[in-house]
Structure 1
Amino acid sequence: MTEQKITATRTIDAPADAVFNVLSNPEWHARVDGSGLVQSDDVSDRITHVGQEFSMNMEWDKMGGSYKTDNYVVGYDENKLLAWKTAPEGDEPPGWQWIWELQSQGSETTDVSVTYDWSHVTDKEVLKKVSFPAIPQEDLELSLENLAAAVAKA
């Protein structure tokens, strides 16, 4: 595979601020995550700016079961963009990131894209250990479906 990122897009019947409200609150991430890896936030504040960090409780057999991640916000544009790099707790980010882009299509509809980008992973040991993409396209699509349901409940 030469492409080093995958993207899924969906139109959600909600205004961009309602979608952003869910995405910027780490408490909602476990309900949105289509991979099933995210279990809960680790008492994180709402995402409000680049440079912010938040932590998540995760579960994945390839990581030995339960573990935590530190997430570093690298993109923030209210109601338009959220992006973060993820790392195992206490480690530097190895180079993959999550990018959520929102494009308002009027007062009640938003096009939402989620991108899983591992193009900056350069550590040969990480590349050997993790078979990219570690999260398949179907899980991104399920994340968007879950997001639509979460926004309807929020």
Structure 2
Amino acid sequence: MTELTRSVHTVDQENVSATLTVAAPAEKVFAVLADPTTHSAIDGTGWVREAVNQAPLTEVGQLFRMDMHHADHPHGDYQVVNKVEVLDPPRAVGWLTGQEKGDGRLEFGGWIWRCGSW
């Protein structure tokens, strides 16, 4: 059985910081976080539906898209594009969330997801 400990450190209009301690080897936790196909299973919001790009995260600058759903989104279903900003196996992984504009341009900003052990 995996033991979990959770705590929210800060919440304000710009940042949310939380800790989830998992009693598992760092390599196993990193493997789950670096595999976009597992993100819907670990997403606490229920917004993540499935990975469009199913390759594991292997390098900074890598893009991966996710199909999403949110009842308050203008279309309900939508897609995000993410850009890997941090990749330090098995210690940390992080990405910026963005969207593809109608002209094909990618625009990042808003959410930065970073997971790791320090």
TM-score in terms of structure 2 length: 0.79
Unaligned runs of 5+ in 2: 1-10
- Aligned equivalents of 1:96, 1:10: Cα separation in 2: 19
- Aligned equivalents of 2:99, 2:53: Cα separation in 1: 17
User: Per the alignment, in what secondary structure is the counterpart of residue 29 of structure 1?
Assistant: helix
Unaligned runs of 5+ in 1: 104-154
Map residues 48-63 of structure 1 onto 2, 5 A cutoff: 48-63=58-73
User: Per the alignment, in what secondary structure is the counterpart of residue 62 of structure 1?
Assistant: coil
What is the letter of the counterpart of residue 85 of structure 2? V
* Post-superposition offset of 1:102: 2.1
- Aligned equivalents of 2:87, 2:34: Cα separation in 1: 9
* Post-superposition offset of 1:55: 0.5
The structure richer in strand per residue is: 2
* Post-superposition offset of 1:3: 5.4
Report what 1:97 is aligned to: 112
* Post-superposition offset of 1:2: 5.3
- Aligned equivalents of 1:2, 1:53: Cα separation in 2: 28
Q: Deviations over 1:87-132 (max 9, x none)?
A: 12344013321111124xxxxxxxxxxxxxxxxxxxxxxxxxxxxx
Q: Which has the higher contact order (CA 8 A, sep 6+)?
A: 1
Aligned length: 103
Asked whether 1:46 is paired with 2:45, we answer no
| Residue from 5, 24, 28 that aligns with 2:34 | 24
* Post-superposition offset of 1:10: 2.1
User: Per the alignment, in what secondary structure is the counterpart of residue 107 of structure 2?
Assistant: coil
Q: Deviations over 1:62-93 (max 9, x none)?
A: 32200111000011101111110111234401
Compared with structure 1, are the counterparts of its residues 54 and 13 closer, same or farther at alpha carbon in structure 2 (3 Å cutoff)? Answer: same
TM-score in terms of structure 1 length: 0.62
The structure richer in helix per residue is: 1
Percentage of pairs with the same residue: 34
